[in-house]
Structures are given as structure tokens and as C-alpha cells.
Amino acid sequence: MQCRVYTVQRQLSDVVFKDVHARIAQTLLDMVFHYAELCPYAFGVVRDVCLTHQEISELIGASRPVTSLALNDFSRADLVHKHDRFLCLQNIPGLEIVAQEGYQALKKISSALVVS
């Protein structure tokens, strides 16, 4: 029971204080440690999660179009790779940074890729 209360409190805090990018990153990280499997595709990635954009949007409390735009940002930053109904998580440390700092951290990660 305590675990559920903590989870709900954290989710409410996230909705109030974190942006959409941070909430998506946190949700993917939560899912990867509980429900993800090793990625069977040849993308050189670590884990994959089977969720639709609608399901993610319902989990984080955002609209589906906003969630889709944010996931496209994640894909451009090479944090995730979208394949069919799977999100293959390519950069878990990067997702952890975005979960803490939000969109600003994602912009830094994206700009680092452009410079490289």
C-alpha cells in the first residue's frame, strides 16, 4: 500500500512540476525496469517497451499530439528508436538526464549530436 501511495504522489508531483519531455522520460525509465525486454531488433539498443503514443499520453497526463511531438524529439536525439509498436530505448543515461532536467537537457543532447 505504501508503494502505491508513493507512486501516486510522485506522479502528481511530476504532472505539476515537470514538463512533458521529463514525464515521458521518467515513464519510459519506470517501464524499462519493470516491463521491458531485450530488444530483438538490430538497432544496437538496450531495451524495448511496447506502448502506443495514446497509452503514454494517458500515463503522463498529456494530449496524444503533444506526446507524439515529444517522442519525435526523443527520436531525433537518438534516445529512442520507434519500430512498429515498440519504443527501443537507445540511451538510458540520456533518458535519466531528461527525466531530471526536462526539455532543456534534451536540447543539449540534440545539439551535442549535431556538433559530433
Q: What is the DSSP string of 18-57?
A: S-HHHHHHHHHHHHHHHT-EE--SSS--SEEEE--HHHHH
Task: Tell me the Ramachandran region of residue 23: left when phi exceeds 0, alpha when psi lies from -120 to 50, beta otherwise.
Answer: alpha
Q: Which residue has the higher pLDDT, 42 or 19?
A: 19
The CATH class given to the 2-115 domain equals: mainly alpha
Return d(Cα 107, Cα 20) in angstroms, integer: 14
Q: Where do the domains of the chain lie?
A: 2-115
Residue with cell 534534451: 106
- Whether the full predicted model's pTM is greater than 0.85, yes or no, is no
Per-residue pLDDT tens for 36-83? Answer: 666 666 455 456 677 888 988 998 889 999 999 999 999 999 898 887
